[in-house]
Amino acid sequence: MTSIFFPIKPLHSLKISKYHQFVSFLKTPLLCQDNLNSIEQLHIPIQEIDTDELEDYINFPDKEVLGKRIERLFEYYLQQHPNYDVLAKNIQIIDDKITIGELDFIFLDRNNDNSIHLELVFKFYLYDPTAGKELERWIGPNRKDRLVDKLSKLKEKQLPLLFKEETQSALKKLYITPKKWTQKVCFKANLFIPVSYKNKPFPIINNTCICGYWIPVKEFQQKEYQNYLFHIPEKKYWMVDPKYNEEWDNFENIYPEIDRLIRIKRSPLLWLKNKEDQYFRLFIVWW
């Protein structure tokens, strides 16, 4: 069955600077502070990066999706890091004319001459208290993906791909033939919890990833939310800190678009601003 894409209809032509997108990416915490499901994570300190060349180095096509933007931002991070040399990226692995997978990044750590295979992940998960075991409760805004499934895919498919014969053959053609590999994941996440779970600690995950809340659309219709200003960002800007936005609307102006998205079972992300110039993130869910 062919999937149909229903784009968000922005009420304003929003332009977020590359710098603010980059800073928002860097400041997004890793999903776990230590190893993730026995997978070593790459920590990326903000203070080591020079952003002077950012505007010239990165060119975002207007319709480029969030995942590709994040790859470009991460590549810029690697290029500017004094200890890393990028050897290859987005390496498609082909077996008998069929693509069986892709390696995100291969780079060299100058400190120890290690060749690193890294998989880059940036996810948005909502906590559903009614769903299974603890890690099974982190799901996508439209219930189409789960954290446990992504962790399983990383461990059972994406990371083992490096050691397949077809992969080693592809890397040899790029003159990448290290004697020893280090595999890491950079798994960043924005997590959203029910309002009733505010200040509740969550096991396993890095609690600093929690950056907002989610509510059913019926709750959003309550009077308390009508005193805020709002913006519905396009998905390509979801990771951006709302404080960088300059275009805001009242409840009456944004509700028709929210209603449209809910009717087609798409849960929109909202940026909120109150009278004290405090900023919030909120998913309105259809389920």
pLDDT at 7 over 90: no
pLDDT at 11 over 90: no
pLDDT category of residue 252 using cuts at 50, 70 and 90: very high
Tell me phi and psi for residue 269, to 5 degrees. -95, 135
pLDDT per residue as tens digits for the range 142-161 = 999 999 999 999 999 999 99
Whole-model pTM: value is 0.92
Q: Tell how far CA 237 is from the center of its chain.
A: 10
